[in-house]
């Protein structure tokens, strides 16, 4: 299934995209795309629903963050060999873990806010996954059973804040609008192999990122098992898994974004996003 939350910010309703591409309102079935809906029992109930009997939503709509009340947004850094190489970073021998504040989350086509005085705003198309049930000390063999679904996430980064200012990466990753995700969450049964997906991002109509999850250093099952050694992953947690090459930081000379720039991006089978860089008020 393709699960969505649609409507104005703060007033989103649960929905799904049916086989013909129509948006259907799930409000009569679930309160939201939340912990209960993403549990194994909740997903089974949704998949058994006759979508043809649900109200069709027509016209232009906004797609919000596909998951309600996200507890945590965990990120993996330098998880593609070719991205590590382009930034002159050593190939990690263990996953690099950091966090983005959940306040950075926004809808797939919402504006990406340019912080006042920002000079080094960068893009990162990524594959993200959502945890569906409590996950702690799990094996790689069972790890994918804890994944409710997958989606696109743009890990927007302010490189000056991230790299040149002292402290952790979070300050360069957490500004409001720095984590557009969606437009929908595709349930894991419709993604038979997350290690065979293509990723891409265009800046102002020019392709800058082209990648494939076959180049991940640590695949999804490894990340789930590894993270569960150090933290209890909770239902609704989002984990974003790193970006392929082609970011502005890796270009020679570096290239960063300005107000008015447009990003379009996507991942095989998971939909597309479009954001305009907009000065924060």
11-15 contact pairs (CB < 8 A, 24+)? 12/64, 12/65, 12/68, 15/57
Residue 210: how many other CB atoms lie within 10 Å: 14
Q: How big, in percent rounded to 5, are the helix, strand and coil portions of the chain?
A: 20, 35, 45
Say what the pTM is: 0.96
DSSP-derived secondary structure letter, 161? I
Greatest CA span in the chain, whole angstroms?
Answer: 55
The domain segmentation of the chain, as residue ranges, is 2-57, 73-279
281 residues of the chain, pLDDT tens digit each? 999 999 999 999 999 999 999 999 999 999 999 999 999 999 999 999 999 999 999 999 999 999 999 999 999 999 998 777 777 778 899 999 999 999 999 999 999 999 999 999 999 999 999 999 999 999 999 999 999 999 999 999 999 999 899 888 899 999 999 999 999 999 999 999 999 999 999 999 999 999 999 999 999 999 999 999 999 999 999 999 999 999 999 999 999 999 999 999 999 999 999 999 999 98
Q: Say which residue the tokens 């005085």 belong to.
A: 117
At the top level of CATH, the class of 73-279 is: alpha beta
């Amino acid at each position: 299934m393709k699960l969505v939350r649609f409507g104005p910010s703060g007033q989103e309703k649960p929905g799904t995209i049916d086989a013909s591409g129509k948006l259907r309102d799930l409000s009569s079935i679930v309160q939201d795309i939340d912990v209960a809906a993403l549990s194994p029992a909740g997903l089974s109930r949704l998949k058994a629903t006759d979508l043809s009997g649900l109200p069709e939503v027509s016209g232009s709509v906004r797609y919000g963050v596909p998951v309600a009340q996200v507890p945590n947004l965990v990120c993996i850094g330098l998880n593609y060999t070719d991205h590590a190489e382009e930034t002159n970073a050593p190939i990690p021998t263990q996953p690099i873990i950091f966090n983005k504040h959940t306040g950075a989350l926004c809808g797939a086509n919402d504006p990406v806010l340019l912080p006042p005085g920002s000079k080094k705003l960068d893009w990162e198309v990524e594959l993200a996954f959502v945890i569906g049930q409590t996950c702690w000390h799990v094996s790689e063999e069972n790890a994918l059973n804890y994944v409710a679904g997958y989606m696109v996430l743009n890990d927007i980064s302010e490189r000056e804040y991230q790299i040149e200012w002292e402290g952790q990466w979070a300050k360069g990753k957490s500004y409001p609008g720095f984590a557009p995700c969606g437009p929908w969450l595709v349930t894991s049964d419709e993604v038979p192999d997350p290690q065979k997906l293509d990723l891409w991002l265009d800046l102002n109509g020019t392709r800058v990122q082209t990648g494939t999850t076959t180049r991940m250093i640590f695949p999804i099952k490894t990340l789930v098992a590894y993270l569960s050694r150090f933290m209890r992953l909770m239902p609704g947690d989002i984990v974003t898994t790193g970006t392929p090459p082609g970011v502005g930081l890796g270009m020679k000379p570096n290239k960063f974004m300005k107000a008015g720039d447009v990003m379009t991006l996507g991942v095989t089978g998971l939909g597309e996003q479009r954001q305009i860089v907009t000065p924060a008020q």
